[in-house]
Amino acid sequence: MLRPQQFYRFFRRAAQLLRLSFVLVFDRTHAGPIRLRLFFEHLGGAFLKLGQILSLRLDLLPAAYASELLNLLSRVPARPFEELRLVFRQAVGADPETVFKHFDPEPVASASLAQVYRAQLLSGEMVAVKIKRPGTDSLFETDLFLAQGLAFILGWFSFFRDFKIREVVRDFVVWTRQELDFALEARQAEKFKQFLIACPQNVVPKVYLSWCTREVMVSEFLENIFSIDEVIRQLDRDPNYREVLRTREELDLEEISYRFVVDLMRQYLIDGFFHADPHPANVFLLSHNRLGYFDFGLMGEAGEERLPLLNIIYGIANEDLTFSSRHFLSFTKSAFRAEAELFKDREPETYNRYGKIMEKIEEIIVDNLRLDLEQVLASWYNANLEGSSSSSSSSVFSQVARRAGNSVMLPRAAAAFFRTIAIVDMVALRLNPRFVMLKAFRRFFEEYPIYRAEELIKNSLLVLPPDPAIDPLSHLSFEQFLELKERESERLLVAKERLADLVMNYAEKYEEIRKLLR
Q: Does the pLDDT of residue 217 top 60, yes or no?
A: yes
Kindly report the number of other CB atoms within 10 A of residue 23's CB atom: 13
Backbone angles phi, psi at 486, to 5 degrees: -65, -40
Closest among 59, 178, 180 to 111, alpha carbons compared? 180
- Whether residue 89 contacts residue 129, with contact meaning beta carbons closer than 8 Å, is answered with no
pLDDT confidence of residue 103: 96
- Of the chain, the percentage scoring pLDDT greater than 90 comes to 33
3-state SS assignment for residue 286: strand
Question: Which residue type sits at 133?
Answer: R
Q: Alpha-carbon distance 484 to 476, whole Å?
A: 9
pLDDT confidence of residue 477: 55
Which helix (H) or strand (E) segment is 117 a member of?
strand 114-120
- Least confident span in 22-36, 206-220, 245-259: 22-36
Q: Alpha-carbon distance 191 to 267, whole Å?
A: 12
pLDDT confidence of residue 178: 74
pLDDT confidence of residue 397: 79
Q: Catalytic residue numbers?
A: 277
- Least confident span in 14-23, 32-41, 465-474: 465-474
Q: Does the pLDDT of residue 163 top 60, yes or no?
A: no
- Least confident span in 73-87, 93-107, 202-216: 73-87
**What is the band of 473 on the pLDDT scale with cuts at 50, 70, 90?**
very low
- Whether residue 506 contacts residue 513, with contact meaning beta carbons closer than 8 Å, is answered with yes
Closest among 193, 178, 194, 101 to 140, alpha carbons compared? 178
| Strand ranges across the sheet with 290-293 | 202-203, 290-293, 283-286, 226-227
Q: Alpha-carbon distance 81 to 107, whole Å?
A: 8
Q: Across all residues in the chain, what is the average pLDDT?
A: 80
Backbone angles phi, psi at 299, to 5 degrees: -120, 145
Any idea of the CA torsion for 316, 317, 323, 327, to the nearest 10 degrees?
-70
pLDDT confidence of residue 389: 44
- Of the chain, the percentage scoring pLDDT greater than 70 comes to 78
